[in-house]
Chain A
Amino acid sequence: MAEVLVVVEHSGGEVKKVTLEMLTLARELGTPAAVVLGGPGTAAPLQDKLSEYGAAKVYAGESDDLDGYLVAPKAAVLAALVQSTSPAAVLLGSTQEGKEIAARLAVKLDNGLLTDVVGLSSDGVATQVVFAGSTIVKSRVTRGLPLVTVRPNSLTPAPAPATAEVSTLDVTVDESAKLARVVERKVEAKGARPELTEASVVVSGGRGVGSADNFKLVEELADLLGGAVGASRAATDSGFYPHQFQVGQTGKTVSPQLYVALGISGAIQHRAGMQTSKTIVAVNKDGEAPIFELADFGVVGDLFKVVPQAAEEIRKRK
């Protein structure tokens, strides 16, 4: 069976969940081969996890050049690998970086590209959910191999232990790929919460939360449920919560098992980012708020009363 290249998303020495989803998906299409791209020493700590989820091979591309410049060096290494291995498909995470690498790869190989894919069948037909979650599209690459970016939380990762054989890639990066230099990486407060797009529970606050200080309430509920914190645009624009946590049309698309909307009206652009959540729960004092049209369970009431009581009740049950 031909190899399916899975470009590993990782952070802080750990494999991200979307990678495990991609490995699971790749097994349906061929033999999964993980591609790790990063600075020296990146691959070793990821290897066990990649094996556990079925990677028969790990291609390790390690160089300061891969880490020190925006995506172009990674795309170059990947293009060479695709040319030398002729894989059955190439999967990347549908994240900012995943899409950007894919974009360059598509140009280099003159190969079609599908982004934000939530399913891929063995005949290469991909499923995408577009237009604020309202439309399901089946599509395929018609020039080249299936080159797709997979949206986090699209499927449940399943382990399938394999023994990954490590193959070291020769990384020589051309000057032309070193035009955008990363001079600094700043981590802004994140804490121990799961990442927004990968979390199985997301608790979001909107304008109704009222202030940055009150967002503690949203965080508290998120922590009790083991979830990530999200926010509506009204909340991020008002400075209640940092922009990278925005859910919706111009923010992140999330698809958790549980989405809790607190003081969010449910505007179409917000729904665009959370509509495909499995279960949706809302608290809003306006019984007519559109969020109730999609909530599996809604409480019409003041979030400053309902949320602390819910938090208390969860603590009691623990």
Chain B
Amino acid sequence: MNIVVLVKQVPDSGAERNLRTDDNTVDRGSASNVINEMDEYAIEEALRIQEAHGGEVTILTMGPSGAAESIRKALSMGPDKAVHVVDDALHGSCALATSKVLAAALGTLNADLVLCGAESTDGRVQVLPHMLAERLGVAALTGARKLTIDGSALTIERQTDEGYEVVTAQTPAVVSVWDTINEPRYPSFKGIMAAKKKPVQALSLGDLGVAPSEVGLDGASSAVVEHSKRPPRSGGQKVTDEGEGGVKLVEFLATEKFV
């Protein structure tokens, strides 16, 4: 099975994140940038499928040149090769444009299965998988907590608020995963060394036949008009329990009219 895993580099969600003051885009310069956490689960799932069914695993990333670091990291987990869509004109692309570019790149890769994270931690938009499927005319099985493969038949358990749905489709398909699906492996020393030699193909917009005017800030279908820091919450009253903590808690809730 030929698998492509979508990997996005994002600013670390555990650190302070900012938007740039000049053009309102995500400030990647000041951030510590990491692989979007959910995508690590997609990589792990791809490797397990490869172990069971054979085939090749390719990482696909659209992002600035600095994303190369995350691509190497992804490769050190075990995938065979990577494709990096990198072009200055991409800066500030909206989700719609990103999906156009990734769909064009996928068009060159002939994947049976596209695996990706259910959402990215920076935008939290959760839209890419269906946008890609819509553009590629393939099935999208999204929000998987379990994936089983039987020949060309794919079945997922899709997590919902009430429980889960069992959804099936035939390859080719896009499958997005939650962090409940597996436990990603850590790269081994051998894996890290091997990753240095794995092929990473750079693709420009020209290579993909996408016009610069269709992407980036100029081609964006939505725009941030302004942004500001939300005033941080400040702590209120804090009491130490000396036998009356529960009662005091309820007294507070009562003054706030919750009981």
* A residues with CB within 8 A of B: 11, 70-72, 75, 95-96, 99-100, 102-104, 106-108, 110-116, 125, 129-144, 176, 179-188, 190, 195-197, 201, 224-225, 243-244, 249-250, 257-258, 267-269, 272, 275, 279-281, 283, 287, 292-302, 305-314, 317-318
Known A-B contacts A71-B130, A295-B238; A250 and B142 likewise in contact (beta carbons under 8 Å): no
* Docked-complex contact A134 and B145, CB < 8 angstroms: no
Given A112-B94, A137-B224, A180-B139, verify A305-B233 contact (CB < 8 Å): no
Residues on the A chain within 8 Å of B124, using CB: 115-116, 130
Contact between chains at B134 and A135 (CB < 8 Å)? no
Q: Does B227 contact A (CB under 8 A)?
A: yes
Please measure, in the bound complex, the distance between the C-alpha atom of A131 and the C-alpha atom of B31, giving whole angstroms: 12
A99:B96 contact, CB within 8 angstroms: no
> Which of B141, B161, B180, B249 has a CB less than 8 Å from the CB of A306?
B249
Chain A residues within 8 Å of B129, by CB:
100, 103
Kindly state the separation between the CA atoms of A293 and B117 in the bound complex, as whole angstroms: 32
**Smallest beta-carbon distance A16→chain B, Å:** 10
Q: Which of B45-53, B65-73, B162-170 contacts A (4 or more CB under 8 A)?
A: B162-170
How far, in angstroms, from A70 to B178 measured CA to CA in the complex? 17
Query: In the assembled complex, which residues on chain B have CB atoms less than 8 Å from the CB atom of A292?
Result: 235, 238
- Tell me the nearest residue of chain A to B239, going by C-beta: A299
Q: Which residue of B lies closest to A133 (CB)?
A: B230
Return the CB mask of B50-86 against A: 1 if under 8 Å, else 0.
0000000000000000000000000000000000000
* Additional pairs, 17, CB under 8 Å, beyond known A112-B96, A310-B250: A96-B142, A113-B222, A129-B230, A131-B122, A136-B228, A181-B167, A185-B162, A185-B165, A185-B166, A186-B165, A187-B163, A188-B162, A188-B164, A243-B180, A293-B233, A298-B238, A308-B246
**B230–A297 CB distance below 8 A:** no
Which secondary structure characterizes the binding site on chain B?
mixed
Within the assembled complex, what's the spacing in Å between the Cα atoms of A283 and B235?
13
- Tell me the B160-203 residues at the A interface (CB within 8 Å): 160-170, 173, 178-180
Interface of A is mostly: mixed
Minimum Cβ distance to chain B for residue A286 (Å): 12
Nearest B residue to A313, CB-CB: B250
A-B CB contact pairs (8 Å), 27 listed: A11-B162, A70-B167, A72-B133, A106-B96, A107-B96, A113-B95, A135-B19, A136-B228, A138-B226, A142-B221, A179-B139, A179-B140, A182-B167, A186-B163, A186-B164, A196-B161, A197-B161, A243-B159, A244-B160, A250-B37, A269-B13, A281-B252, A312-B246, A313-B249, A313-B250, A314-B253, A318-B259
B240: interface (CB < 8 Å):
yes
Give Cα distance in the complex from A311 to B246, angstroms: 8
Given A108-B134, A138-B226, A287-B240, also A179-B246 (CB < 8 A): no
Cross-chain contact B247 with A258 (CB below 8 angstroms): no
Is A106 a contact of B127 with CB atoms below 8 Å?
yes
Residue from the list A116, A140, A249, A312 in contact with B121, Cβ < 8 A? A249
Determine whether the beta carbon of B233 is less than 8 Å from that of A280.
yes
